[in-house]
């Protein structure tokens, strides 16, 4: 089975990153009830890609996204080594860190605005704070806790302090160190503050007030908002354990969205929902693990052992879904089979000369406006995800290539954000499920 991939209307029909810049909007003015109270309704925020403000070509943005994805994959592998005790070099617990999308919010009273990296692969919420012993440059003023009437340091005995992977106690206050596995880290004091998402104010959110922040990848924003499964994350602290997002492709003019709380549910009018259970990994409790049972290319289910994607007893392996990784990475044995299937099905010459950063590219036929690409289906437990062609193929007519937006990995596999384009992806921590609805984001 094959799909037609059009080259006549767009040269990058399945671009790896979303470069949309839109200001945050909120659909409700409701507030949060009480200390750590439950969110009454929820809020929605539009997202911009980390490279949206840069003067880059589309292919340059693709290559930057792939490079970040490779770094993120290396962090994840370092985490597995640390958790299994196989790495003697690890000095502190490692988390995933960084991401591909930014959200705007405010902290403090009066509110101080900044952009934060959105990360489904970690938990801690943090921003740079005065006095800074070491801080990277950011476009907005560094948060000054002395100028906020709602800033309160957390005690060493607080639940959030105890949930940190590494903390110390100084004068009764909780101090943290969060390491991202590539010499990137944030260090400072844990506190609570009022966070504002446009007109929605949320009091008493625990966050890291970072006074020593270093490493590559944070300078796109002024901090990070973790959306992982652990107690430190925003979704856990809101006590409304549901969020969803819809990410658009770069060549679209519509907005990408994040929805938090009860409004994150999918409307039946959007289309058919496909739901798969979340799997828990005790050694990596923040990640959203899924059960991938197989892959179909064209009309053929690939001869990949289901155990290839299994979560091992020591916490290695498995498949996570991640909005902060650009392309999908499959365990190398599975990717090799997938690659051979695409070479067989595409019936185009394999390109070995272009420096795209992608593992498999084909030479486009001269003068063609359409090419046939094989159908691609991911078989998750209870959810067969039939992907549109633009969610796994990237064409560059100027370079004359069309490439598979996937790569190989050693151990852990990642279902990346290109494959999630124009889907409402609903994370439900209470039901422990992830649901997919193929839709256009403007319909939400």
Query: Taking the domains of the chain in order of start, what are their residue ranges?
Result: 43-259, 266-443
CATH number (3.40.50.2300, 2.40.70.10, 3.40.50.170, 1.10.287.110) of 266-443 reads 2.40.70.10
Which runs of consecutive H residues, i.e. helices, occur in 226-300? 234-237
pLDDT for position 193: 98
Task: Output the pTM of the full model.
Answer: 0.88
∠ CA 169-172-176 to the nearest 5 degrees? 35
Q: Is 119 a catalytic residue?
A: yes
**Would you place residue 30 in the very low, low, confident or very high pLDDT band (cuts 50, 70, 90)?**
very low
> Of 51, 123, 322, 351, which one is the catalytic site residue?
322
Per DSSP, the three-state class of 300 is strand
427: closest CA among 196, 310, 261, 230?
A: 261
Burial of 132 per CB tally in 10 Å (0-12, 13-18, 19+): middle
Which residue of the set 51, 119, 198, 396 is catalytic? 119
Residue 364 DSSP one-character state: P
What are the pLDDT digits (tens) for 90-139?
445 556 667 788 899 999 999 999 899 999 988 999 999 999 899 888 88
Judged against a pLDDT cut of 70, whether residue 84 lies above it is answered with no
In the predicted structure, residue 16 carries a pLDDT above the cut 50: no
Residue 340 pLDDT > 90: yes
CA distance 440 to 120: 22
pLDDT digits (tens, 9 = 90+) for 364-390: 998 777 889 999 999 999 999 999 999
**Domain 43-259 classification at class level:** mainly beta
pLDDT at residue 281, rounded to an integer: 92
User: Is there a shared CATH topology between the 43-259 domain and the 266-443 domain?
Assistant: yes
Catalytic residue check, 322: yes
pLDDT band at 216 (very low <50, low <70, confident <90, very high): low
Distance (Å, rounded) from C-alpha 396 to C-alpha 17? 14
Q: Does residue 335 contact residue 302 with C-beta atoms inside 8 Å?
A: no
């Amino acid at each position: 089975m094959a799909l037609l991939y059009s080259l006549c209307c767009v040269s990058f029909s399945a671009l790896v990153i979303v470069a949309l810049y839109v200001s945050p909007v909120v659909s409700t003015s409701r507030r949060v009830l009480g200390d750590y109270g439950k969110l009454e309704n929820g809020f929605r925020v539009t997202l911009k890609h980390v490279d949206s403000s840069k003067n880059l070509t589309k292919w340059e943005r693709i290559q930057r996204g792939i490079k970040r994805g490779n770094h993120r994959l290396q962090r994840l592998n370092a985490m597995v080594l640390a958790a299994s005790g196989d790495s003697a070099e690890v000095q502190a617990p490692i988390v995933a860190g960084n991401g591909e999308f930014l959200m705007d919010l405010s902290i403090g009273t009066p509110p101080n605005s900044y952009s934060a990296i959105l990360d489904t692969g970690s938990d801690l919420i943090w921003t740079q704070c005065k006095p800074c012993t070491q801080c990277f440059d950011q476009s907005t003023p560094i948060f000054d806790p002395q100028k906020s009437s709602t800033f309160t340091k957390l005690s060493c005995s607080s639940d959030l302090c105890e949930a940190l992977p590494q903390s110390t106690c100084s004068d009764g206050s909780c101090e943290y160190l969060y390491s991202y596995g590539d010499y990137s880290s944030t260090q400072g004091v844990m506190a609570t503050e009022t966070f504002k998402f446009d007109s929605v104010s949320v009091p008493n959110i625990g966050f890291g007030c970072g006074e020593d922040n270093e490493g590559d990848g944070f300078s796109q924003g002024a901090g990070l908002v973790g959306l992982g499964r652990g107690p430190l994350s925003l979704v856990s602290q809101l006590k409304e354990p549901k969020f969803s997002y819809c990410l658009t492709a770069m060549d679209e003019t519509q907005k990408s969205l994040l929805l938090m709380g009860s409004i994150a549910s999918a409307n039946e009018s959007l289309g058919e929902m496909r739901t798969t259970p979340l799997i828990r990994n005790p050694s990596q409790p923040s990640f959203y693990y899924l059960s991938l049972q197989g892959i179909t290319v064209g009309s053929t289910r690939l001869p990949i052992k289901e155990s290839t994607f299994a979560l091992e007893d020591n916490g290695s392996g498995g498949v996570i879904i991640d909005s902060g990784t650009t392309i999908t990475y499959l365990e190398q044995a599975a990717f090799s089979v997938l690659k051979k299937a695409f070479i067989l099905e595409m019936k185009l010459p394999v390109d070995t000369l272009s420096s795209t950063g992608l593992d498999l590219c084909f030479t486009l036929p001269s003068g063609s406006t359409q090419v046939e690409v094989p159908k691609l289906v991911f078989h998750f437990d209870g959810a067969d995800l039939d992907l549109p062609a633009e969610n796994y193929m990237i064409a560059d007519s100027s370079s004359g290539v069309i490439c598979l937006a996937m790569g190989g990995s050693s151990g852990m596999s990642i279902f990346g954000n290109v494959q999630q384009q124009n889907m409402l992806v609903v994370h439900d921590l209470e039901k422990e499920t992830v649901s997919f609805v193929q839709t256009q984001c403007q319909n939400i």
